[in-house]
Structure 1
Amino acid sequence: MRLTRIGGPTMLVELGGWRILVDPTFDPPGRRYAFALGTSSTKTTGPFVTAADIGPVDVILLSHEHHADNLDDAGRALLPGATHVITTHSGARRLGMVSARGLQPDESILLEDEGKEALRVLATPGRHGPPLSRAIVGDVIGFTLRRQHRPHPDLWITGDTVLTRKLLRVAGGMTVDVAIVNAGGVGFPATGPLTYTMTGRDVVRFVEALRAGVAVPAHYNGWSHFRDGEEGLRRAIDMAPTAVRERVRWLPDGVAVDL
């Protein structure tokens, strides 16, 4: 497996002959984007790889398509070039593309193409905020990717989610080679102390529960709405048990890494 950290939640995954782009965000920094309930965020860091340099993409995975920090204008322009776009059911309806497929947690799709290993994509649960917030913040999912000959997933991408009991139960029952874990502790002045993604402490609890060879932090910087951010994430991991620290792998910016 080869991963390239592009910035924010955006990763290029190369696995079994497939080129998979996760939550494409390629707009330049400096713009403020509106979210729900009058909240907003400014993009502070641009992509470490340009959209023009990505090359061909077979699959685009969208944790959700209704927030610009997971799908911005330049990222949206890439969707028609992918053979498969996989997201939530509501997101697929909004996209209105023939290539868009919606999944809900525990649903899966088998991807097959000549010259590539058959790949099972399964949706995992997520909640992008506190209890009862789904009607406001919308649906989100994560994904596992498993080549058909493997006994367990090659990769789990959590997507944007807080740490819930359901997510911990799934983590406790899963063995996976690599987990990409979105963090940052998103928060807004308008919503007080509420958070909308995992904090550094949550990531530590998540990695402790999960049987993963490697955990890769993602989506922890580059936007003004990160309350915990990279500093909080690194501090929590530095203070974590050795078994957690040894499994965390910080990817360099814009460089392909074999895992």
Structure 2
Amino acid sequence: MRLTHVGGPTLLVELAGWTLLTDPTFDPPGRRYDFGWGTSSRKVTGPALDRGDLPPVDAVLLSHDHHADNLDDAGRALLPSAPVVVTTVAGAARLGDGARGLVPWASTVLTAPGRVPLVVTATPARHGPPLSRRVSGDVVGFAVHPQGAEGGVVWISGDTVFHRRLREVADRLTVDVAVLHLGGVRFPVTGPLRFSMTGRGAVRTARLLEPRVVVPVHHEGWSHFREGRDGVQRALDRAPDVGRRFRWLPSGVPVDVGG
């Protein structure tokens, strides 16, 4: 398995002959985006790779389509070139063009001649505090594994806080590589409420799932993040039992994570 961190939540996942792209964001930095309900954020860092630098992508795994830090204009323009887009049910209805919408624990199978089918299962995500769905909208994570393969899965958390339904992920899946969306998002209008996972939440998630490798993403590049790499690392330094599992990816460089 090989991972390339493009920036923010955008990750190239090369697995079993398949190339997947998560939450495509390729706009240049500088613009402020409205997230609704009085919230907004400025993009401060551009992608490590341009859209034209990407290899052919077999599928896009889109945790949600309604926030520009997970799908910006350039990322949206890329979607028609992807043979398959997997996202939330609401997102698929908005996107159209055959996008596959999944509720948590529903699956779809990617098939192509000469390749082992790849199973993609949506997992629960909560993009904020309890009862925040009306504000933050539907979000899913993804569990990915070759059909019939033994061993663990690649789990991509999507934008989520630590919440009770992550226990379902631990109970149902054997996670080999966990990709965690972090950043501890807060907005002035919502005060201390968090809308994505903190370093402490990452430690709790790693202890719950016990993956071989944890890859932190989506903790930099936008003004609404309140906890970057340094903040996450402080939480890891207090939890050496799980800190050794974390692997920080260099931007734009393919990294073999085994599996």
Q: Secondary structure at the match of 1:165?
A: coil
- 8 Å Cα contact 2:142/2:156 also seen in 1: yes
- 8 Å Cα contact 1:8/1:69 also seen in 2: yes
Alpha-carbon distance in structure 2 between the residues aligned to 1:26 and 1:51: 7
Q: Secondary structure at the match of 2:37?
A: helix
Alpha-carbon distance in structure 2 between the residues aligned to 1:171 and 1:186: 24
How far is 1:97 from its partner? Answer: 1.2
- The equivalent of 2:199 in structure 1 is 200
- The equivalent of 2:129 in structure 1 is 130
Residue type of the alignment partner of 1:114: P
How far is 1:172 from its partner? Answer: 5.1
- The equivalent of 1:69 in structure 2 is 69
1:9-65 residue CA offsets vs partner (Å, 9 max, x unmatched): 000001111110000000001110000211100001100111110121110000000
Alpha-carbon distance in structure 2 between the residues aligned to 1:208 and 1:188: 28
1:173-192 matches, within 5 Å, as 173-192=172-191
Structure 2 unpaired stretches of 5+: none
- The equivalent of 1:148 in structure 2 is 147
- 8 Å Cα contact 2:161/2:195 also seen in 1: yes
Alpha-carbon distance in structure 1 between the residues aligned to 2:222 and 2:65: 17
Residue type of the alignment partner of 2:122: A
- The equivalent of 1:168 in structure 2 is 167
1:21-60 matches, within 5 Å, as 21-60=21-60
- The equivalent of 1:101 in structure 2 is 100
Residue type of the alignment partner of 2:136: V
Alpha-carbon distance in structure 2 between the residues aligned to 1:139 and 1:11: 21
- The equivalent of 1:249 in structure 2 is 247
Q: Secondary structure at the match of 2:155?
A: strand
Alpha-carbon distance in structure 2 between the residues aligned to 1:56 and 1:214: 26
- The equivalent of 1:17 in structure 2 is 17
- The equivalent of 1:229 in structure 2 is 228
Alpha-carbon distance in structure 1 between the residues aligned to 2:236 and 2:210: 17
Identity of aligned residues (%): 59
Alpha-carbon distance in structure 1 between the residues aligned to 2:25 and 2:220: 13
- The equivalent of 1:3 in structure 2 is 3
How far is 1:136 from its partner? Answer: 1.6
How far is 1:212 from its partner? Answer: 0.8
Q: What's the TM-score once normalised by structure 1's chain length?
A: 0.96
Q: Secondary structure at the match of 1:150?
A: coil
Alpha-carbon distance in structure 1 between the residues aligned to 2:151 and 2:140: 19
How far is 1:149 from its partner? Answer: 2.7
How far is 1:170 from its partner? Answer: 2.0
1:70-125 residue CA offsets vs partner (Å, 9 max, x unmatched): 00001011100111000000000000112x00000010011110122110000000
- 8 Å Cα contact 2:153/2:173 also seen in 1: no
How far is 1:154 from its partner? Answer: 2.7
Alpha-carbon distance in structure 2 between the residues aligned to 1:11 and 1:226: 18
Structure 1 unpaired stretches of 5+: none
Per mean C-alpha deviation after superposition, the further-off stretch among 118-127 and 160-169 is: 160-169
Alpha-carbon distance in structure 2 between the residues aligned to 1:95 and 1:17: 27
Q: What's the TM-score once normalised by structure 2's chain length?
A: 0.96
Per mean C-alpha deviation after superposition, the further-off stretch among 224-233 and 103-112 is: 224-233
- The equivalent of 2:213 in structure 1 is 214
How far is 1:198 from its partner? Answer: 0.5
Q: Point out 4+ residue stretches in structure 1 off by more than 3 angstroms.
A: none
Q: Secondary structure at the match of 1:136?
A: helix
How far is 1:228 from its partner? Answer: 1.8
